[in-house]
Each structure stands twice: as C-alpha cells, then as structure tokens.
Structure 1
Amino acid sequence: MAKTTLSKLVPFNIEAPEMPDSMTKKGGFITLFFIAGTLSGVMLSGFGWLANLIVYLVQEFNVESINATQIANVVHGCINLLPILGAIIADSFLGSFHVAAISSFLSLLGMILLILTARLSSLKPPPCEIGSSFCRAPSKLQYVVLYLSITTASAGLGGSRYTLATLGANQLDKPKDKDTFFNWFFFAVNASGIISSTAIVYVEDSISWALGYTICLAANFIALAVFLAGQRFSRCDKPKGSPFTGLLRVVVAAVRKRKVVLSSRNEDYYHEHCETSKVFEPSSDENRRRHRSDGLIARPWKLCSLEQVENLRTVIRLVPIWSSGIFLITPVAIQSSIAVTQALSMDRHLGSNFKIPAASIIVVILVSSSFFVALFDRFVFPTWQKLTGRPLTLLQRIGIGHVIIVLSMAISAMVESKRLKTIHDNKLEALPGAIAPMQVWWLFPQLVVIGIGDALHFPGQTALYYHEFPASLRSIATALVSLVVGIAFYVSTALVDLIRRLTGWLPGNINSGRLDNLYWILVTAGTLNFMYFLVCAKLYKCRNIEKEVDANSSFDI
C-alpha cells in the first residue's frame, strides 16, 4: 500500500503549547541528588536479592538447580519487560514521578515478604543435606508466599529503573547536560550491581539471608524517603498520552482508507512540523470539508500526517535488526544464570577462610563491561578513527558484539567439558551438590569475554535506536534494549525447557548432565543469528533523522 494512502489529512493550525509552571520553576541539578540517591538505594535493594535468587531457591527452598535457573530467567524477563509498561503508564496516566514512587513502594513490600520467607521456618521447607536424595519440596502455601514476594519485588525494580532515568532527564534543559546525566545514571546502576553482588550477597551466604534482605529493605526505605523529599524540587511531568497512539492511528487509517483515490498534488496532504509548529494547508474547499465548526479535527482515527506514516515505516524497518538482538542476548541470559549453578559445584575458596559467594561470580561481567566501555570510548574507537580515517559505525559495533558473544559460548563449552571430566574422574556425578576439585576461576574468561561483547552491542543498540527512531518515540527507543533483554530471558527459558524435554543433557543434578552440549547449540544458533544480522544490516539504510549532531562530529551510524 502506498504510503500516501495512509496520509490524507486534516489541515489545522498548531500552536506551540505553553510550558506548565511545574516545568519552568522546578528542576535543575539540585534534583539529581535526590534521583541519584533513590536510584542507588533501589538498585542496591533490587540487585541484592536478584543476584542471589538462584542460590536462595536451591539452598533454602530445595529447588533443583536447573529449575531455579528457569525461575530466575522468568524473573529477569519480567523485570526487563516492565520498563515498557511503566513508560506507557507514565506517559498516558500518572507521570514519571508517581510511577517511580509507586514502584519503589512495591519494591519495599516485596522485600518485607522476602524477609518473612527467610526468617520464619514455617514459610520454607526443612533444609536438605548435601548428597541426600530425600529433600522435602515446599508446600503450596510456601510457594505462594515466595512467588508473591518475588513478583512484588520484581514489579518495583522493573517499574522504577528506567522511569527514574526519564524523570532525571526531564529535570534538565540542555541536551549536553542530559547526556552527562545518562552517563552517570548507567554508572550508578553498574556500581550498585557490583556492590550488591559482592557485599550484600556475601552477607546472605555467609551470615544470614534474613540480615542480607534486611539490608536491602533499609536501602529501599531510604531510597523512597529521599525520593519523596525531593518532590518539592522536581518537575513532575504531566501525562501526554501514549506515543503508540499515533502509530496505531496510521494502521487504522490505512485500513479505513484503503480505497481512497490518491492525489498527485503534494499540497493535498498534511505535513506536520512539530519543530516549527507550522502546517501546509490545502485549498479552502478542503478546509471546509475537513474541519468542524470549532476548528478541531473531525476524525483523528481516520486521518493522519505524512510524518506519522514515516514514523511507523521507520519502526517497521528497524524490527529485523531489533529482532536479531533477541537471539544475541539469549545465550547471555542462559550463561548468566547457569554460571551460578556451575559455581555452586566448584571450589570457591579464596585462601583457607574466605569463600566466594556463587552469585558474586556474575559481578565479573559487570566489571568487565564497565571497564571495556571506558576503554573503547576513550582509546579504541579514537585510535581506530585515526588509523582508518573513519569511525567504527554503530552497526559494526553491534556486529562485533555478535561475534564476541559467540566466542564466549565456545569458551563456556570447553570449560564445562573440563569440569565434567573432573567430576567423572573423581566419581562424583551421582552425588547431587557435590563439589568438583576445580577452581571457580575457570569461569572467569568466559564471563570477561561476555562483558566485552556487552560493552559493544548494548551501547551500540541503544544509540542506534535513539538516533533512528522518531523524536516522539525517543523514550520508548531507549527502553527497547530492556525489552530485548526481557524477551531474551523468556526465549532462554523456553529453549532450556525444550532441550530438557528432548534430551537428557540437563537433569536436576548438572554433574550428571551434558551442559557443554547446550553451549555448543548456542554457538551454532549464535552463528546463524549473526548471519541473519549481516543480511539485515546490509539491507538497512539509516535515516539519520537526528540533526542535533554537529556536522564535524565523528558520529556515524
């Protein structure tokens, strides 16, 4: 269907909206202290229980390791899908401030329930001895309380994270200040994740689960108090309606006007220019036919602008590249969860008295990713441009990230093969929970390589969507990466479940399984997905709609 069919429009004069008082008299850098405090507290609390969830399910609720991995994948998926829902609710109904406040409160309730499951013996089954085959499963009531606490805490963490990013950016006026804020936003998220995955996880593993969760509760409570204290300084944006409405109107208009005779005159179509708030108006006859007496649009769901049509076409053109990201992150999602179960069956002692918590192994990815993001930005990319005379494009960065992630899966397969050989040589495969005489350091190389891949493809995808998406969809564009991660966790859960049903590679006791075969499947799937990405990247032509980049800048799509 020709795009002009979709864009028969109603001409009307657009007046620039007045800036509300709340957006002019408040805001500024003073509000960022409150937002940073809130973000740090919420992330410390959220990562504090999320990073150690698999261990908690295995050790305290007698859940089999693979089942615990599947539950953790579902939880990660929910947390990464919720930012999209939070953005829609904030834009359409409540505003960013209220969504962030409600989410922080839900996170607080979830932590209270988790503390109860850890402290009250009636809310969890009796402990299971290592190597024993007689482990009592949780009762229905215990499962209900556990899942309710996880669901509530997940809703709070997922709903607040990117909403706080939007709220923080809204406090600033200059684009450069907003860019600086986003840099520090992601730094705060990573720093909170590192602290939670080490200090809080250590308290949970070595001292008490209840004490660790109480620390998370205290951090969450302080975060909510700081956030509410900053309300008097903050710009509380008013709901403006869902950005998806304009896209949906194009689809509805296309169906309803599929038989409309096209006009060859450009002036017969409405060209909306939001930057200048001007329109091109057709003849007075057209005005009389398409205006009501009060000057408003007669049928907004039957009429749309050329710009709305082009916005929808841009979104559709990006879908193939976006979809390749799902199968790029799926192996990472599987690896992040299974690495914890692998660490549980390996020697984690550092010296004679200290034992590395299994969940803390994931912090290697965070540290690696943070280090290589800085290294690429300050050294590798500028050096590449000096040597070649042109910058490394965003699509090239994403493609290299694909290759590195596939490489990490190959390393994972070889390390797991060695771990299983050690298990079989010591005849430990029949003992659930048996520890292989193999240091946990063997897992570090694959996790470091994953961090390198993340440092390339995550920023690359975010920048690509931000610069290519229409200006009206920028907030959704930055959340698309989170949506990819959420879907990837669900895909990883389905893939692992499918392999469990079709093969005997993933039993409850991974020491008697063939986890290395799963990694080789991921290598094959990742290679095919990389080929798919190359085709999509070759066919995709960047719009370069972002005009704010300086002409002399080295930025390139």
Structure 2
Amino acid sequence: MDAEPQTSGAPKRGGWVTFPFLIATMAGLTIAAGGWNSNLIVYLIQEFNIKSIDAAQIANIINGCMTLFPILGAILADSYFGSFIVVSISSLVSLVGILMLTLTSTLDLLKPTPCENGASPCLGPSKAQIGILYTSLALSSLGVAGTRFTLATMGADQFDNPKHQGVFFNWHFFTMYAATLVSMVGIVYIQDHVSWGLGFGLSCAANLIGLAAFVLGRRYYQLLKPRGSPFTGLACVLVAAFRKRKVLLSLKIEDYCQELGTGGTKLVNKTPTSGFKFLNHAALVTPGDMNTNGSINKPWNLCTLQQVEDLKTLIKISPIWSTGILLHTPIATQMSLIVLQALAMDRHLGPRFQISAGTMMVFVMISTATSLALIDRFLLPTFHKLTRTSPTPLKRIGIGHVLTISSMALSALVESKRLTTARTHNLTGNSIVPMSVFWMVPQLVVVGVGEAFMFPGQVMFYYQEFPGSIKSTAAAMVAMFIGIAFYLGTAVVDFIRKTTGWLPDGINEGRMDNVYWVLTILGLVNFCYYLVCSWMYKYQNVENKEVISSNHS
C-alpha cells in the first residue's frame, strides 16, 4: 500500500511518536471489551433471570462473533477504507453498545424484576428488554471488529524497521494481556461486589478514553492507502476455471499466463503443477484474454499461474486448518461451562474475600503467558541442544492437541467429584457445593500450557505456508476457526441438552462430567485425524521452515 501524501513542510508521520496513542487506544478498548464480556454469563443469570445453560450458550455466540468480526474489520481496513476509519467507527459503535448495556443494568425499566422479590414469580425478560439487551451486545461485539487485528497492523505500518515493528508487537500484546487482566479481575470484582452499573460504566469510560487517544493521534499517523483484497484474485481463479472448463489444457508453458511485472513483462516462467489440474484452466490463455501490451484484458476470465498455485496451496492446507475447529471446540465449551461450575462451588479465598466466577479464565492466561516464556527461553533451546533440531510448527500444534485432551479429561474428573460432593450433601439446583473452586485450577493450567504450544505453532505454520499475497491473514485464519469453534460448541451443547438429561438448569442434578468426557472423545478423534493430515502434508516452503526452526535455537 502507498502512504497517504503529506503536505509540504509537515513533519514526517509515523515512528515512535505514534506509540503512546496506539498503546493507549489498545489498553482502553481492551479493558472495555473485557469489562462487559468477562462476566456476561453471571450478568445474564443474575440480572436478566436467564437460565444458566441458555446464558452460557448466549456467551458462546457472543464470543464467536468477537472472534470472527475482527477478520471482517481487517479485510475492510486493508481492502477498502483504511485502518483509521475502521478503528474510529468500530470504537464509536462499541461505545454506543456498552452505553446501552450500562443502561440495562441501571434502569429498572430495561430489565426484569429480580427473582428474590418474595411472592413475585421469577419472570424472564420481556421481548422489548431482550431486544435492547441483544442490540447492545451486538453493537459491543461489532465494535471489536476494528481493533483486534487492525490496530496491530496499523501500529506495524508506522515503522519501516522490522526490529522496531517487533518491539511494537511485543508491547502491543503485553498491553492486550495486561488490560484483559485488569478487566477480568478489577472490573468483574466491581460488578460482583459493588454494582453492575459502575462496572459497565467503567468499561464505557475506558472505551471513550481509547477512542479519544486514537483520534488525538491522527495528525501523527502514517496512513496507508487500501490496496484491494488479495482474496479477489483467488475468487477469480475459481470463476475463470469454471468458465474455461471445456477448453483443453495445453502442455506448452507459453500457453499459460505468467506473473507480470510493470509494462506487462513476464517476471518468471512457471510450469503448471499437476495437482488440482482443473484449476489450471484459469491460467490458460484464450483469444481476447490479453491486451496488445501483454497485460490481462479480462481479469475474471484469465489469471496468472501464481494465483492458481496460491489457491492450490490453500486447498492443500485446508485439511489441517479444519482440525483447528475441533481442537478449539472443547476449549470454547469449557470457557462457558466453567463459569457455571464456579458459581456452584466455594469461591472464598480467606474468610472474607470471594473470587468472582467470571475471573476463573485468568488462570488460563497466567498459565499461557508463563508457558510461552519457558518454552521460548528454556524448552526450545534445550530441545535444540539435545537433538540439533527444533520442533516444527506441526509438532507444536500436536502437543497442543494432547494437552487440550488431557485438560478435558481432568475437567471430567473434577466435575465428577463435585457432583459426588453435591449428592453427599443432598444439594440440588445450583446450590453451592462445599468444594473449593481451586480444584479447577489444574485443568485450566493444562489448557493454558496447550495454548502456549498451539497458538504460536498455528500462526507460525500458516504464516510460513501461506502464499505471499495473503500472508498477512495468517493470524486471521487462526481466529476464524476459533470463532467457528464457539458456534460449534454452542451446537454441541444444544444437541446434548436435547438428547440427554446431562445439562439441566440446576447443574447439581445433571451430569456435566459426561459432557467433558464427550469433549475428550471428540478431541481424541480429531487428534487422530490431525495425525493423518500432518503425516500426509508436505511443507510448501522448506527453506522458510528451516529458517524459522533455526531462529529458536
């Protein structure tokens, strides 16, 4: 992309002068998002009288949206509108959404009557109340679309030096983790022990501060012009191949459209590969496809061989990509169920302090952050010294599979003990079981260690193997199957509710341990599928793989 033109005499844009504005924006918007989302299940149960499993399902759908929407935001920023406009509008949308959510917690008119009011029946929200609630959640989720990926990309665009870009990314992700911890611990505590209105109000204030910091830095940013979506070229391959499906393929290299440079000159002559031969039709030159200067006349009728090979590469990667969906489905399901378990367990830390159920995922974050440091500074160097090699991205992902499966099995065992304790004390519904919530910490630590292996492995693998034209979407591809996993987890829970009695509204009367065993089996089956896919896969960029491996030595 080209940089936005600067007026004469204006100071050079970009560089470290933009750093405080972008980091303040990231901190404010992350605190805002975590402040309303981390404790959402508890809010729906306690303030809107929504049944526990239904609240978990709603949270799963919201988390899926918050994971998928940023992909759309990144595409819009990169292809059409630019980062500044997308971040600004998204931040404003999220501000409106969180403000509406704050109003639902402070105005009695916008929420149902509390169930504790003596003789009055426990009524759920009206259609108008649920409509306003869903609208606020939708706007708040949409607001995340312009920040998750777009802010990171925009920050990297401010620096020409790759080393400076790396430093920015380190601070960017550190800020994201730190801000998330602030919201999960601080704001959630205020929501549980002071008031929901104050908690959501602080999220709203953080969003406003983030938006203000971002807009104030406008004069210093180096803004790059949108360069068009790389996925358009891949779509052209499918269209062109279908249109020319009846044309006979040629064995001559010169009959295919090669990669073109300026003035229509050919950069390199390539031979079409035999795999997925049908797609080679897209690069086959037919009368009228080319201009007299050698450029393409009809883009949706003719593509270069490079575009064809790029699409073939994505098709080859897709089986491994699909395993990521079922890898993250158990984790997505666990994230919601664990809040319900925590609500029905002893959360006291000392005689007075009580941990909020919505903060239990903090243990996953702490485990992931600690494990990342240990893996990078100790495990990988030790592995390299002993074997003279470094684990490939696929091996790191495989370790993540094993640890995730182990976490689900641990979750099943802990829940089985919780249910046994509940029945020993004749506790029904969602009554608090005399069993410490810290029994669930080991399973969260294990899943955190698994994430420390698989997340870097996945991003590394897709960045390494993706065609050059779409390398910037590597992180987005990981986010995409995580988002799909949230929706699939919702479908799995819904199916189990309809076909079994394992997930009643009162979890003390159900068999949530069986749900975790199902997730364990699902993970095992998916791991076997992953082993087959990874065994059959051949690295496309062997040189890059070796470079990446050597960097960890």
TM-score (norm. length: structure 2): 0.92
Deviation sequence 1:220-251 (CA, Å, 0-9, x none): 10100000011111122222221110001111
User: How do 1:122-521 residues align onto structure 2 when only pairs under 5 Å count?
Assistant: 122-129=109-116, 134-272=121-259, 279-280=266-267, 290-292=289-291, 297-429=296-428, 432-521=429-518
Using CA pairs under 8 Å that are at least 6 residues apart, name the structure with larger relative contact order, 1 or 2: 1
Residue 106 of structure 1 is matched in structure 2 by: 93
One-letter amino acid of the counterpart of residue 179, structure 1: G
Deviation sequence 1:344-379 (CA, Å, 0-9, x none): 001111112111111011111111111101110111
Alpha-carbon separation, structure 1, partners of 2:247 and 2:39: 59
Alpha-carbon separation, structure 2, partners of 1:20 and 1:346: 56
One-letter amino acid of the counterpart of residue 397, structure 1: R
8 Å CA contact retained: 1:252, 1:302: yes
8 Å CA contact retained: 1:397, 1:460: yes
Alpha-carbon separation, structure 2, partners of 1:274 and 1:55: 58
Alpha-carbon separation, structure 2, partners of 1:130 and 1:426: 27
Residue 281 of structure 2 is matched in structure 1 by: none
Alpha-carbon separation, structure 1, partners of 2:348 and 2:397: 37
SS state of the match for residue 66, structure 1? helix
- Once the two structures are TM-superposed, the CA of residue 424 in structure 1 deviates from its matched residue by 0.5
One-letter amino acid of the counterpart of residue 98, structure 2: M
8 Å CA contact retained: 1:253, 1:304: yes
- Once the two structures are TM-superposed, the CA of residue 163 in structure 1 deviates from its matched residue by 1.0
Alignment: residue pair count: 535
8 Å CA contact retained: 1:51, 1:201: yes
Alpha-carbon separation, structure 1, partners of 2:547 and 2:416: 51
One-letter amino acid of the counterpart of residue 531, structure 2: L
SS state of the match for residue 360, structure 2? helix
SS state of the match for residue 161, structure 1? coil
CA pair 280-389 structure 1, distance change in 2 beyond 3 A: closer
Q: Where does the alignment leave 5 or more consecutive residues of structure 1 unmatched?
A: 1-16
Alpha-carbon separation, structure 2, partners of 1:279 and 1:401: 44
RMSD between aligned residues: 2.5
Alpha-carbon separation, structure 2, partners of 1:132 and 1:190: 45
8 Å CA contact retained: 2:364, 2:445: yes
8 Å CA contact retained: 1:365, 1:447: yes
CA pair 382-535 structure 1, distance change in 2 beyond 3 A: same
Alpha-carbon separation, structure 1, partners of 2:192 and 2:163: 43
After TM superposition, the structure 1 stretch with the greater mean CA deviation from structure 2, 543-552 or 457-466, is 543-552
Alpha-carbon separation, structure 2, partners of 1:546 and 1:245: 28
Alpha-carbon separation, structure 1, partners of 2:342 and 2:498: 24
- Once the two structures are TM-superposed, the CA of residue 308 in structure 1 deviates from its matched residue by 0.3
- Once the two structures are TM-superposed, the CA of residue 514 in structure 1 deviates from its matched residue by 0.2
SS state of the match for residue 191, structure 1? helix
8 Å CA contact retained: 1:81, 1:482: yes
SS state of the match for residue 491, structure 2? helix
- Once the two structures are TM-superposed, the CA of residue 127 in structure 1 deviates from its matched residue by 1.4
One-letter amino acid of the counterpart of residue 92, structure 1: S
Deviation sequence 1:60-89 (CA, Å, 0-9, x none): 111111110000000000111101211221
8 Å CA contact retained: 1:395, 1:537: yes
One-letter amino acid of the counterpart of residue 443, structure 1: M
Alpha-carbon separation, structure 2, partners of 1:255 and 1:287: 14
One-letter amino acid of the counterpart of residue 535, structure 1: V
SS state of the match for residue 361, structure 2? helix
- Once the two structures are TM-superposed, the CA of residue 273 in structure 1 deviates from its matched residue by 6.3
8 Å CA contact retained: 2:502, 2:514: yes
Q: Where does the alignment leave 5 or more consecutive residues of structure 2 unmatched?
A: 270-284
Deviation sequence 1:430-449 (CA, Å, 0-9, x none): xx331101111111111111
2:34 is aligned with 1:34: no
Residue 21 of structure 1 is matched in structure 2 by: 5
One-letter amino acid of the counterpart of residue 468, structure 2: A
CA pair 445-280 structure 1, distance change in 2 beyond 3 A: closer
SS state of the match for residue 240, structure 1? coil
SS state of the match for residue 541, structure 1? coil
After TM superposition, the structure 1 stretch with the greater mean CA deviation from structure 2, 28-37 or 398-407, is 28-37
8 Å CA contact retained: 1:267, 1:281: no
- Once the two structures are TM-superposed, the CA of residue 181 in structure 1 deviates from its matched residue by 2.5
8 Å CA contact retained: 1:130, 1:434: no
One-letter amino acid of the counterpart of residue 75, structure 1: I
CA pair 417-18 structure 1, distance change in 2 beyond 3 A: closer
Alpha-carbon separation, structure 2, partners of 1:289 and 1:440: 71
8 Å CA contact retained: 2:111, 2:125: yes
SS state of the match for residue 349, structure 1? coil
Alpha-carbon separation, structure 2, partners of 1:548 and 1:230: 39
Alpha-carbon separation, structure 1, partners of 2:394 and 2:148: 27
Residue 3 of structure 1 is matched in structure 2 by: none
Alpha-carbon separation, structure 1, partners of 2:37 and 2:293: 55
